[in-house]
Homo-oligomer: A and B are copies of this chain.
Amino acid sequence: MPGKSPITAFKLGFIFVLYCHTKGVLLSGFSQVLVIAACGCLLRMKPVIVVQGGAGRIMPERKKAYLLGVKQAALSGSKKLQQGGSVVDAVEEAVVVMENDPIFNAGCGSVLNEHGEVEMDAIIMDGKYLETGAVSAVRNIANPVKLARLVMEKTGHVLLTDRGASQFAKAMNIPEVPGESLITEKAILRWKKNKKPVDCEQALGTVGAVAVDSEGNVACATSSGGKTNKMLGRVGDTPCIGSGGYADNFSGAVSTTGNGETIMKVTLARLVLFHIEQGKSPREAAETALKYMLDRIQSKAGLIVVNNSGDYAAVFTTDHMSWAAVKDDQLHYGLSQGELHTCSISDVPL
């Protein structure tokens, strides 16, 4: 019975002791404690990580690369957890893998603004005390999510933007990279083809990850290059807490993707967690929030969500969203509506 939260596992142990008592099997006080502790350890929830590589319409010839990318990211994040890393370490690692993969619209591979430049947004959040760090419109760094984490851990602030984010990156000795090193052929083609910002129906959102550990600690991270041909200094949902991501140990963690402007209008990540707080499962919460977004402002999006008991969902109203999850030593992944592949993580040929 893997996947049980530690509290549930201990409760089951307690129920077993009570059951023994009603059947006349009397356990000594020490034995009772031992049984409860054993249940707690044996049945404790295994960590779960889920990643998303952007929602939108993915061209058939690019699907394989997207799936490979999210699988690699989920496995890297999962490995971090197995090695004793925290949920924050895991989501950061998963997002770094996708920032470094030029197929995704984040880090290297980011889409270009109206001037043909890369400006990136990122957020990271630790659900324990709601600690958060974010950067917006940052340039010339390879991994905005790492800078977001430094904002969270090394400053008294939550969000640094543009020149301030660059100044902070220098102070933290983050290597400055030439803007061109983040620009791909594909990004240039997209930029030349379009005259104005492209919404999520054609383009691709963000990358992101959510994770929960065996103690019920949750975290999220999201990173994005934004919209092709966006105005200089445009900030999307990604670094905006409650829109691009939110994590709270009392409920769960969410990372969203799609058209940033409409995701912001419904504070999508926080909305999903409000539904979880009201007793919905991750899938029900995600579907309810995405349906509300469609009904209220006629906009599609995608998201990944995990609750503090280890249940997760990857839900999207767009045509596609590449996603992958590692749970109970199984890798789950998909890209189209209804698509779900499962295999043992030891079988993945990466």
> Which A residues are within 8 Å of any B CB, using their own CB?
129-132, 136-137, 155-165, 167-168, 196-197, 230-236, 240-243, 246, 260-261, 264-267, 270, 274, 296-297
Contact = CB atoms under 8 A, between A and B. Distances in A.
Contacts of A240: 159, 240-242
Contacts of A234: 157, 159-161, 164
Given A241-B240, A265-B130, A164 B246 contact: no
Contacts of A136: 136, 159, 161, 235
Given A233-B168, A241-B243, A267-B241, A261 B157 contact: yes
Given A240-B241, A243-B242, A296-B130, A231 B270 contact: no
Contacts of A164: 137, 162, 231-234
B197 A235 contact: no
The listed residue with most B CB atoms (<10 A of its CB), out of A164, A168, A230, A243, is A164
A231 B162 CA distance: 12
Nearest to A113: B164
A261 B130 CA distance: 11
A232 B167 contact: yes
A198 to B, nearest CB: 10
A159 B161 CA distance: 12
Contacts of A157: 197, 230-231, 234, 261
Contact of A235 (B160, B196, B230): B160
A265 B232 contact: no
A34 B339 CA distance: 58
A21 B233 CA distance: 63
Contacts of A264: 132, 158-159, 241
A242 B260 contact: no
A33 to B, nearest CB: 31
Given A161-B234, A163-B163, 13 more contacts: A131-B265, A136-B161, A137-B162, A157-B230, A158-B264, A160-B234, A160-B235, A162-B233, A163-B232, A164-B234, A165-B233, A167-B233, A240-B241
B233 A160 contact: yes
A165 B231 CA distance: 9
Contacts of A274: 274
Contacts of A230: 157
